[in-house]
Chains A and B, each alone.
Chain A
Amino acid sequence: MEPSGRSTATPRLGLRSGTRPAFVFETDRCTACEACRIACGIENGGGHDTGWRKVTTFNPARHPALPTKHLSLACNHCDTAACMLGCPASAYHRDAATGAVIIDPRKCIGCRYCSWVCPYDAPRFDEARGVMTKCTFCAPRLAAGGEPACTQACPTGALALGTREDAAPDSELPLLGLGPTGLGPALKLVLPGRATPPPMLATEALAAGDDRPEQPVPPRKIHLGGEWALLVFTLIMPALTAWLGAGLRLPARGPSLASFLALGGLAMVVTTLHLGQPLRAWRAILNVRTSWLSREILLANAFLGLGTLHLLWPEPRSLGWGAFAAGLGLCVAIDGVYRAVPRLEPRRPHSAEAFLTAVFLTGCALSSPVLQVAAGAVKAALFVGRWRAGHHALPPALSGVRLVLLAASCLIVSDLWWLALGLALLGELLDRGAFYAELEPASPARRMASELLRRLPRA
């Protein structure tokens, strides 16, 4: 248990020299007044809400079995900043003076990937400008010896400026949606100084009854309506890889240059247009060192480039094998992109992962019983396992259709390869759609909602 930390007024200023800043948040002092949020808007949003700092409440409907607690959270300027590592465009940097993780909106391509990989839900998409923005730690104020607008505004002393040296390596409080991230957030949670049961309800009439409150959750960041371009891309690329690969063994089954360029071009165009800043799409390959997304884009270009050259000059075949390898690498990169997204549930291999799909489709296109049936069986097993575990977005009827399509495409091992491939693709479309519907990054607000459901007494 932490002591309350400060028994006198919070120092207005003042990081000791040589120390690095951190937010200190004392849960029991926060009353959800939202002064921090408003002060942030005044300082950084010209009076408008920046959306950078949010106050989220656990048990806002005050169910008697549970306490009500608040979390004020912006960016934790992590030592290992998932946003910065994931950003394909190298739009992030760390401010040398303060350690603040800063995004330069002029470099941002608007892919929103940082908002997927941040477990604290810190980066915000600015619809009007098509770029991400986020908390700057008020770095100029810090550098000038001051403190961030949010901590300065807090009337109860719940949110304050402290030092990273004092912060715990990882701040955990499941009730408030904070789990271990391993990222080294600059956040010190001052936990309740005593057990905090809900206040004792001193009237018998206040029994909760059967009604159960709902915890409001923020709108989904990932949904098919918004991400259909990614569905197109992540379905076309494994399919095109498989088709090109099949043509290397059985040239009659390979794609024509026109169809290869048409499909590959379509995938690239829709994903580019999906960006907030399509004209800066070229920046997407600037962070191959740490970003799976950057690797994905680089490999996609390599695959399409080599594939085009191979279809123009089929000999030597090494160009074609190079293209096929790039395509498989691309599929690995696609899976890497999604693997980095923090999840509420422990991550399980998904039946719609791109590499597995590429192998399966290659089998279908080659009528290779080993690849086709083995990969199909793995897919079926993963699919059914997920269905039974309940982490499954497809309605039962569509799930049935998906399994029938999978079975049919596995069983057609003959000259009707195009039928097998077509049916397989239809099945993959359903499964990849489910993949996106199931993929919502875990944010503190979502963790809080799931924690509430877990802790509520069963009706």
Chain B
Amino acid sequence: MSTFVTACPRNCYSTCSLEVTVESGRIARITGLPANRATPEGPCIKGLSYVERAHSPERITRPLGREADGSLVPISWDIALDRITHALTRARAEHGPQSVLYYSASGTKGLLNGVGLAFWRLFGGCTTTYGDLCWPAGLEATRLTLGDNTHNAPWDLENARLIVMWGKNAAETNIHQMLHVHRALAQGAQLVVIDPRRTETAERAELLVQLRPGSDGALALGLGHILCRDGIVDRDFIARHVHGFDDYAAMVAEYPPARVASITEVPVETLERLARLIGTVHPCTLIPGFGMQRFTNSGQAMRAMLALVAITGQIGKPGAGWMYANLQTAVFSHVKDPLDFYPPEEPDGVVRVSISTARLGRDMLATLDPGQNGPPLRVAWVERGNPIPQNPETNLVREAFRRLDFRVVVEEFLTDTAREADVVLPAKNLFEQTDVIGAYWHPYLQLRQKVMEPPPEVKPETEIYRALGRRLGLDEAALAAALPGPSDEAIEAWLSAKLAPFGITLDQLRRGPVLSPAYEEVAFSDRRFPTPSGKIELRSEEARTRWGQDELPRYREPEERPTRGGKYPLHLLTPNTKNRIHSQFGNLQTLRRMAPAPFVAMHPADARARGLAEGARARLFNDRGALVLPVKLDWGTRPGCVTVTNGWWLAEGGAVNVLSCGRETDMGHGAAFHDNAVEVERA
């Protein structure tokens, strides 16, 4: 029996430090690590379930190949690599290397993820995506306003007197934050939750503001109006550190409470009460989630929310700030998010960055149009992602994949995307190769440590690319330069070289999490904001020049919105739950016990109006697709909204993105999943 310190590499706020016990070659136990001040208690249920996931009988442990009858059967590595080599060579010969789509997503964090693109450059090039499904509108809004995406340490939340959780349900998506919320509440802090749903987080709230989805920007401007009207702003802070306040104040004058109440459907007295809390209970930490920045108007909405922090002077102090994204651990690249999401201004002629992640299906299909510049996509290589159910417009994404000649998916499990593949290559799991990971909530660099050998036929991507490169006849020396060697020692040497500039060693990381060299407990405590004006920018020229938006964060309705009495009168909410990270974990028995099947939650008034009772089969539909699901009555869902949690697979009948639309957010090239109007009827 031996224990190791490692870390969970999922795309999750918490990025927990873990202590893993290995017994007779199996993961026997997983516990938390108090050395991580952000996650000192236990891991979440998904972290615990690695005990099952690491040894699941459903795990793919050998290459799978598509047979003539359409089935996927185990094949040897030789055959798998031969088939891939044949398809790649042919596509490159007929259409050039950019007819190959390299699609990688956020399934696993790690520095070694970067070797993929290095390989494809050796191949001669490829096509990749730009933008990101998750959080770019908020990142960009923050960058435009504050100059950088960083925030106070997670534990600093305990110093807050007012916590405004805006569109974030930390109890399910960042459970470790609740520890700090509870400690703050125990010391007398107040919690406000702004969310169309009465979430688990909201149970602890002083005030729950169930606004109309997508109207967050108007709510923020209305609050700004009241703060300016009543003079509960920090005039000294504004004078020193805020750019564009006068223009902002003139603009919010157009958003009096009565108007905002009609847009947001939040009563005037609630607006007044909320504004007074934000203006007077300090320090105040505003914690926006990711969900509310996935509308077509949400970059501007986030800027309007940031303005509340700015005009009340709630930044750069303990217990205060804008807790959206903390990129203090992003020290390994010169280009940080969100800028590295954007297509290069000058294409390098090798990698074509032409597919918007938000419009994956549409843009892939568009390459097939005869009039298009550039080669049509013929082959796709997918790793660390499950784009068919997870990207907007699932039906179009699936069609786009089906229109290709050949698909390779590197996966641990037979996901919806893997099911469409011609070759599925077995992926390593987090216990089988060492890597260094950062986080986006806490400031720790961590080692995701190798604690066991992979199954005999599972190879890490570094090895897959090396073997494929040899088949393709790529230059051996160039391959060796691009990819770290196969041995554990070579991987460690590669990682050590990455860490060396910061004076951090692997041995340090083996003992526990290490604070990033860019760590600041209180972000912006020096009041230096790396914006063009050096101040917090309420007016941003770049909002106009880069994104074509108003320089001020004016409110605009989302492109798609439900209309009462219209064809699609209901707003579909597709939040994440504690039981999954996007489409991962739901296939495990451990999680299935808690969430066996998808359902649609709706307010009894909406259900009654459609003749639907608890458990009735309902059909959710719009012009893009339909789902048939049982109804769960939920008094906590805002009337006019229905909720299906995100992450169910097509194979489970609950893939929510059959209903979403491939659209970009107003800035940042994010995916505006949440502009999503539906109707529900009896199935």
**Which residues of A line the B interface, CB within 8 A?**
3-4, 7, 9-10, 12, 28-29, 31-35, 38-39, 41-43, 47-49, 61-64, 67-69, 152-157, 193, 196, 198-206, 208-209, 211, 213-214
**Distance, CA A59 to CA B561, complexed state (A):** 31
In the complex, the answer to whether B178 meets A199 with C-beta atoms within 8 Å is no
Q: State the majority secondary structure of interface residues on A.
A: loop
In the complex, the answer to whether A157 meets B41 with C-beta atoms within 8 Å is yes
| B-side contacts of A213, CB under 8 Å | 633, 635
Task: Name the contact of B633 in the complex, choosing from A61, A64, A156 (C-beta under 8 A).
Answer: A61
**Distance, CA A203 to CA B172, complexed state (A):** 24
Binds A, one of B48-56, B234-242, B513-521, B674-682: B48-56
In the complex, the answer to whether A211 meets B176 with C-beta atoms within 8 Å is no
A-B contact pairs, 10 of them (CB 8 A): A31-B578, A35-B42, A35-B43, A63-B635, A68-B203, A155-B32, A198-B203, A199-B198, A200-B208, A205-B640
**Distance, CA A203 to CA B640, complexed state (A):** 12
Residue pairs across A and B with CB atoms within 8 Å: the count is 156
Measured between C-beta atoms, what is the minimum distance from B676 to chain A in Å? 20
In the complex, the answer to whether A155 meets B41 with C-beta atoms within 8 Å is yes
Task: Indicate if B202 sits at the interface (CB-CB under 8 A).
Answer: yes
Task: Indicate if B171 sits at the interface (CB-CB under 8 A).
Answer: yes
Question: Other CB < 8 Å A-B pairs besides A49-B593, A201-B210, A203-B270, 13 of them?
Answer: A3-B186, A12-B34, A31-B171, A32-B200, A35-B42, A35-B43, A38-B590, A47-B589, A156-B41, A199-B203, A200-B205, A203-B210, A203-B267
Task: Indicate if B204 sits at the interface (CB-CB under 8 A).
Answer: yes
* Known contacts A33-B44, A202-B267; A47/B590 CB under 8 A: yes
Q: Which 6 A-B pairs have the closest CB atoms?
A: A62-B636, A4-B186, A199-B208, A211-B604, A153-B42, A202-B270
Interface string of B148-167 (1 = CB under 8 A from A): 00000000000000000000
In the complex, the answer to whether A39 meets B175 with C-beta atoms within 8 Å is no
| B-side contacts of A204, CB under 8 Å | 267
| B-side contacts of A31, CB under 8 Å | 171-172, 175, 178, 200-201, 578
* Known contacts A156-B178, A203-B265, A211-B604; A35/B45 CB under 8 A: yes
| B-side contacts of A209, CB under 8 Å | 604-605, 608
Interface string of B589-600 (1 = CB under 8 A from A): 110011000000
Task: Name the contact of A29 in the complex, choosing from B178, B206, B638 (C-beta under 8 A).
Answer: B178
| A-side contacts of B604, CB under 8 Å | 209, 211
Max chain A C-beta neighbours (<10 A), residue from B178, B193, B640: B178
The residue of chain A having its C-beta at the shortest distance from the C-beta of B29 within the complex is A42
In the complex, the answer to whether A205 meets B265 with C-beta atoms within 8 Å is yes
| B-side contacts of A157, CB under 8 Å | 41, 179, 182
In the complex, the answer to whether A152 meets B633 with C-beta atoms within 8 Å is no
Measured between C-beta atoms, what is the minimum distance from B13 to chain A in Å? 12
In the complex, the answer to whether B44 meets A35 with C-beta atoms within 8 Å is yes
| B-side contacts of A203, CB under 8 Å | 210-211, 265-267, 270, 638
* Known contacts A34-B594, A35-B43, A199-B202; A206/B209 CB under 8 A: no
| B-side contacts of A35, CB under 8 Å | 42-45, 48
Interface residues of B in 1-46 (CB under 8 A from A): 29-32, 34, 39-45
In the complex, the answer to whether A153 meets B43 with C-beta atoms within 8 Å is yes
Measured between C-beta atoms, what is the minimum distance from B19 to chain A in Å? 10
Interface residues of B in 564-603 (CB under 8 A from A): 578, 589-590, 593-594, 603
Task: Name the contact of B43 in the complex, choosing from A63, A64, A155, A211 (C-beta under 8 A).
Answer: A155
**Distance, CA A78 to CA B201, complexed state (A):** 33
The residue of chain B having its C-beta at the shortest distance from the C-beta of A197 within the complex is B206
In the complex, the answer to whether A10 meets B44 with C-beta atoms within 8 Å is no
| B-side contacts of A211, CB under 8 Å | 604-605, 608, 633, 635
**Distance, CA A417 to CA B592, complexed state (A):** 61
In the complex, the answer to whether A199 meets B193 with C-beta atoms within 8 Å is yes
The residue of chain A having its C-beta at the shortest distance from the C-beta of B613 within the complex is A211
| A-side contacts of B608, CB under 8 Å | 209, 211
Task: Indicate if B639 sits at the interface (CB-CB under 8 A).
Answer: yes
In the complex, the answer to whether A199 meets B266 with C-beta atoms within 8 Å is no
**Which residues of B line the A interface, CB within 8 A?**
29-32, 34, 39-45, 48-49, 51-52, 171-172, 175-176, 178-179, 182-183, 185-187, 193, 198, 200-211, 265-267, 270, 578, 589-590, 593-594, 603-605, 608, 614, 633-636, 638-640
The residue of chain B having its C-beta at the shortest distance from the C-beta of A12 within the complex is B34
* Known contacts A28-B204, A38-B49; A202/B209 CB under 8 A: yes
In the complex, the answer to whether B48 meets A152 with C-beta atoms within 8 Å is no
| A-side contacts of B211, CB under 8 Å | 203
| B-side contacts of A208, CB under 8 Å | 635
In the complex, the answer to whether A38 meets B48 with C-beta atoms within 8 Å is yes
| B-side contacts of A42, CB under 8 Å | 29-30, 48, 51
| B-side contacts of A33, CB under 8 Å | 44-45, 171-172, 175, 578
In the complex, the answer to whether B34 meets A9 with C-beta atoms within 8 Å is yes
Measured between C-beta atoms, what is the minimum distance from B642 to chain A in Å? 15
In the complex, the answer to whether A214 meets B48 with C-beta atoms within 8 Å is no
| A-side contacts of B634, CB under 8 Å | 61-62
| B-side contacts of A39, CB under 8 Å | 42, 48
| B-side contacts of A205, CB under 8 Å | 265, 638-640
**Distance, CA A155 to CA B44, complexed state (A):** 6
Measured between C-beta atoms, what is the minimum distance from A206 to chain B in Å? 6
The residue of chain A having its C-beta at the shortest distance from the C-beta of B640 within the complex is A205
| A-side contacts of B172, CB under 8 Å | 31, 33
The residue of chain A having its C-beta at the shortest distance from the C-beta of B195 within the complex is A199
| B-side contacts of A198, CB under 8 Å | 203
In the complex, the answer to whether B51 meets A152 with C-beta atoms within 8 Å is no
In the complex, the answer to whether A206 meets B639 with C-beta atoms within 8 Å is yes
In the complex, the answer to whether B175 meets A155 with C-beta atoms within 8 Å is yes
Task: Name the contact of A156 in the complex, choosing from B179, B209, B594, B605 (C-beta under 8 A).
Answer: B179
| B-side contacts of A152, CB under 8 Å | 31-32, 42
**Distance, CA A34 to CA B200, complexed state (A):** 13
The residue of chain B having its C-beta at the shortest distance from the C-beta of A207 within the complex is B605
The residue of chain B having its C-beta at the shortest distance from the C-beta of A4 within the complex is B186
**Distance, CA A64 to CA B182, complexed state (A):** 23
Measured between C-beta atoms, what is the minimum distance from A44 to chain B in Å? 12
Task: Name the contact of B208 in the complex, choosing from A28, A155, A202 (C-beta under 8 A).
Answer: A202
**Distance, CA A42 to CA B265, complexed state (A):** 47
Measured between C-beta atoms, what is the minimum distance from B673 to chain A in Å? 24
In the complex, the answer to whether B52 meets A47 with C-beta atoms within 8 Å is yes
| B-side contacts of A41, CB under 8 Å | 590
Task: Name the contact of A7 in the complex, choosing from B183, B210, B270 (C-beta under 8 A).
Answer: B183
| B-side contacts of A49, CB under 8 Å | 593
Task: Name the contact of B198 in the complex, choosing from A4, A156, A201 (C-beta under 8 A).
Answer: A201
Max chain A C-beta neighbours (<10 A), residue from B185, B200, B209, B589: B200
**Distance, CA A200 to CA B195, complexed state (A):** 12
| A-side contacts of B266, CB under 8 Å | 202-203
| A-side contacts of B178, CB under 8 Å | 29, 31, 155-156
Measured between C-beta atoms, what is the minimum distance from A362 to chain B in Å? 51
In the complex, the answer to whether B171 meets A155 with C-beta atoms within 8 Å is no
Measured between C-beta atoms, what is the minimum distance from B96 to chain A in Å? 49
Measured between C-beta atoms, what is the minimum distance from A451 to chain B in Å? 17
The residue of chain B having its C-beta at the shortest distance from the C-beta of A203 within the complex is B210
| B-side contacts of A154, CB under 8 Å | 41-42
Measured between C-beta atoms, what is the minimum distance from A64 to chain B in Å? 6
The residue of chain B having its C-beta at the shortest distance from the C-beta of A5 within the complex is B186
Max chain A C-beta neighbours (<10 A), residue from B171, B203, B210: B203
In the complex, the answer to whether B635 meets A61 with C-beta atoms within 8 Å is yes
**Distance, CA A58 to CA B475, complexed state (A):** 65
**Distance, CA A49 to CA B193, complexed state (A):** 34
Measured between C-beta atoms, what is the minimum distance from A319 to chain B in Å? 58
Measured between C-beta atoms, what is the minimum distance from A301 to chain B in Å? 43
Measured between C-beta atoms, what is the minimum distance from B173 to chain A in Å? 11
**Distance, CA A32 to CA B578, complexed state (A):** 10
**Distance, CA A372 to CA B121, complexed state (A):** 99
Measured between C-beta atoms, what is the minimum distance from A289 to chain B in Å? 40
**Distance, CA A45 to CA B513, complexed state (A):** 31
Measured between C-beta atoms, what is the minimum distance from A413 to chain B in Å? 55
In the complex, the answer to whether B207 meets A9 with C-beta atoms within 8 Å is no
In the complex, the answer to whether B207 meets A199 with C-beta atoms within 8 Å is yes
